[in-house]
Amino acid sequence: MILQDAIDEFLIYLTSVRTLSENTVIGYRNDLVHLTDFLEKDASVESVTKEQLMTSIGYLSQKKMASASINRYIAAVRTLFAYCKKVGHIEKNPALELKTVKLPKRIPKYLTENEIDQLCSMPTKKELLWENRDKAVFEMLYSSGCRVSELANLKFSDFTDGFHAALVRGKGKKDRYVYFEEDAQKALKNYLDDRRKMFVDLKMEDTCDYVFVNQRGGHLSVRGISWILSRYSGPEGTNHQISPHALRHTFATAMLRNGADVRLVQELLGHSSVSTTQRYTHITTEKLIETYNKAHPHAEVENEQK
C-alpha cells in the first residue's frame, strides 16, 4: 500500500471510529505531511524503515522546528504505524522505538492580579465591541479556568445551581464541572439581560441555545472569542497581547498561590495527568522564594549588604 493511501485511511479511521474532533484530525494530517514530504511520493508503507523515520526527525530539527512540534510529529507517526500494524498493512512497526526530543522547561504565561483586573475592566472603559458580553467572557474564563472551546460551546442547559456551576466537555470527551464566582455570575447576568433587550430592540427572536453569541445572534466561535481578546489586549486596550489560554494559566496560578491542592486544580482544569498541572508549581515556588527573601530577617540583612 502506498504511504499516502495508508495515511488517508488512517485519518478516516480517526474520524469515524475514534471519533476525534475535526481540529485533532487536521492536526494529524498536517503533521504527517512532513513524512510524505521527506519520503518519496510513491513510497510504500511496508518499505518505511526506522532509520528513515529517525532521519526525518533530524531533518525537522535542522529546519529549526520547535521541540514541541517535533514531538507532535513523532506522536502522529507512532500512531499511524501502530494503526498500520493493527490492520495488517505492515508486519513490523518501524516507529516502535522512536523517542521524543527533550523539551525546554517553560513556565506558562500568566497575568498578575493587577493585569487580570485591568483586562476584565477594559470592556467598560473602551467602547470596542459588546461591553457586557465581553466582560462576561473574560470573567468566566478567569473564574473557571476552562478552555476557550469549552466556554464557546457552553449552553444554557449545561448550567447547574443557577449560574454557579456548569458541566463542560473537555479533551477526550471527558465531562467535568467548572465553577463561576460572584463577579463572573454578575457579569453573565448583565450580559444576558443585555442580550434579551438587544434582540427585542432588533425585533429578532433569541433562539440560540449557546450562551455566547455574536451581534447577529449566531454562535460565538472559538476564533471569535480569540479575536475579541486580541482587541482588548492589543494597542486599543491593555497593550499586553495575550491568548485565551493565558487566562487558564492565570486561574491555575492563582489557585495554587492561594493554597489549593494540586490534585484539586488538576480536576478543575481537566488535566488527565497531574504532571501537566505541576508546571504551575514552578511559578508558585518562585513566588515562595521571593516572599521568603523579603520576609526573613537574615535575608533582609544580606540584601542590604549587597
Residues in the chain, how many?
A: 306
E-strand spans in 155-292? 159-160, 165-169, 175-179
Please confirm, yes or no, whether 196 is among the known catalytic residues. no
Based on the residue annotation, tell me whether 83 is a catalytic residue of this protein: no
Q: State how far the Cα of 302 lies from the Cα of 288, in Å rounded to an integer.
A: 18
Q: Could you tell me which of 114, 77, 117 has the C-alpha nearest to residue 93?
A: 77
- Mark 104-125 as b/e (b = at least 16 C-beta within 10 Å): eeeeeebbeeebbebbbebbee
Scanning the structure block, which residue is given the C-alpha cell 529549526?
Answer: 64
Catalytic residue among 83, 110, 232, 280: 280
Nearest to 104 by CA among 65, 68, 138: 68
Query: In degrees rounded to 5, what are phi and psi of residue 208?
Result: -70, 125
- The CA R_g of the chain, rounded to the nearest whole Å, is 24
Give the residue carrying C-alpha cell 445551581.
161
Which listed residue (92, 171, 197, 223) is catalytic? 171
Q: Is 257 one of the catalytic residues?
A: no
Cβ atoms of residues 123 and 237 within 8 Å: no
Told to judge if 263 belongs to the known catalytic residues of this protein, a careful annotator would answer: no
Catalytic residue among 133, 135, 147, 195: 147
Say whether 147 is catalytic.
Answer: yes
106 is catalytic: no
Which of these is catalytic: 155, 231, 245, 282?
Answer: 245
Catalytic residue among 34, 195, 248, 249: 248
Catalytic site positions: 147, 171, 245, 248, 271, 280
